[in-house]
Amino acid sequence: MSKIAVLGAGAWGTALAAQAARCNHEVHLWVREPEVLYDIEQHHENSLFLQGITLPKTIRASIDPGEVLHGANIVIFVPPSAYLRQVAASVARDVPSAASIVIATKGIENDTFMLMRDVVAEAMPGHRRADLAVLSGPSFAREVAAGLPADVVVASQTDVVAAKIANALHSPIFRVYTNRDPVGVEVGGALKNVLAIATGACDGLGLGTNARAALITRGLSEMARLGVALGGDPLTFMGLSGVGDLILTATGPLSRNRALGLKLAEGVDPAGFLGSQRTVAEGYGTTKAAWALAQKFSVDVPITEQVYHVLYERRSILDAMRLLTTRAPKHELLGLS
């Protein structure tokens, strides 16, 4: 049994805490909202983010990160991507030097265009970047918290770290695979949110299932092109963090990013819609960073480009669709073969 500290009590952090507790670990969850702390401690529920899901009674919640981190063997970071740097820097001194660190936040930092592992490495210079792991894959938080089956992947340049985390969280209902390509796993986890916005818009316009399949497939290609440009392995995008997470997020009814795309098709202002939501649609911020990265590395990402212009430049959905469908034909694997 390990002591596992989970930093972030949103839906995904709470779900991972529940999974760790089901694996009979000592689980401590860092909470920011007093009402969430009370709810978990008194009612074993996080009704703010996962209403109706009963959590394991062994989870211990606290607003004190030092208490949560004291003696932890594994530390899981799960704040929204916009706050990851702040959280990592604020707890750097409290994270035990021997603890294994895994980042379950998905996204790209907007100001620096860094992947999440690089953000934590910079915010916590006492921990070797090569030893940091990332966790991703097709896994809606509500289903994981409810104990429904899911498969995910943990990636690290250090095999022993990935194996330690995988063994700690693995169970028959939550299978955890390992991978040596954290860059590819992170790019997949980030870009699938952008592509889910596009797919939601496609469905909202009533363009049909053929168009949806084409959009997902071509989106996978540009995800892989950007990932390879950043140093990822193209085969990673055929796995759980690539095509697996993309299919789930682009088509699943619980997808916040797909929901944003559906609203775009209705003509709703994206910033206004997101401001009315309690949870974060990571694809909104990731789109801006992904488009900037693609330009920096001269990577062709036409779907991401159009999502950017719709979200930030007020381009109409119909104009974006027209610009995509009138592109010149080319080799299917251009930029990858």
Catalytic residues: 192
* Cβ-count burial 33-69 (b if 16+ within 10 Å, e if not): eeebbebbeeebbbebbbeebebbeebebbeebeebb
- Residue 93 in contact with residue 67, Cβ under 8 Å? no
Residue linked to tokens 């989970």: 6
Q: Which of 124, 98, 99, 102 is nearest to 12 (CA)?
A: 102
- Residue 334 in contact with residue 320, Cβ under 8 Å? no
Distances (CA, A) of 202 to 70, 251, 256: 48, 11, 15
Q: Give dist(CA 322, CA 193) in Å, integer.
A: 22
